[in-house]
Structure 1
């Protein structure tokens, strides 16, 4: 297990977001999505990240008010998976991209094709 402080982990998530092209970052900012770091997934779940919300390609002006979508990045499982600090940073980035892919309506199959699985 590779340990990273909560602050360092949050910075790695921010770095992953900062690496996105400006157009994508702007779309995320306009999408009403919160990106949160949690220690562990819900009990019984084996997840590195989780997207909760309505993907952008399924939203409608007729939806009315909705809570912000949420992307969770789970620190504990990612640290346990990591083989090195560099590997942990890479897996954080992949997890963030994977969950953002769901925000944009991408399937699991497509995310794996892109190497974000």
Structure 2
């Protein structure tokens, strides 16, 4: 049974996960917004998070005037795989780190090698 949690509490957990990211990394993040979204896209309903944009490693001299990159954290899919609030805390932290890593150009394969599944 999915964990029941309102959006405000879930957003607090995302904020707490961001507080755990070293400030040096947060300072390097550029032109990116982090959003809590209720549902994943219909084509991938089990997705927990998604990075959309141009990773820092892919930005060239002509990178200017673009909309911010987006990190979406999907509330309902995360709640659906968790047994209790402690599981939600852990999964939110993992998902936030995973998507921030994509902003820095770290691939899913490398994250897997590092143990961030």
Q: TM-score, normalised by structure 1?
A: 0.93
Match of 1:100 in 2: 100
What does 1:82-101 correspond to in 2, within 5 Å? Answer: 82-101=82-101
CA distances 1:40-62 after superposition (whole Å, capped 9, x unpaired): 01112130000000000110121
Which of structure 1's runs of 4+ aligned residues deviate more than 4 A?
none
Match of 1:21 in 2: 22
Q: CA deviation at 1:112?
A: 1.5
Match of 1:36 in 2: 35
Alignment RMSD, CA only?
1.0
Cα distance in 2 for residues equivalent to 1:115 and 1:5: 29
Q: CA deviation at 1:116?
A: 2.0
List runs of 5+ in structure 2 lacking aligned partners: none
List runs of 5+ in structure 1 lacking aligned partners: none
Q: CA deviation at 1:65?
A: 1.3
- The alignment covers a number of residue pairs equal to 115
Task: Tell me if 1:111 matches 2:111.
Answer: yes
Greater share of helix residues, 1 or 2? 1
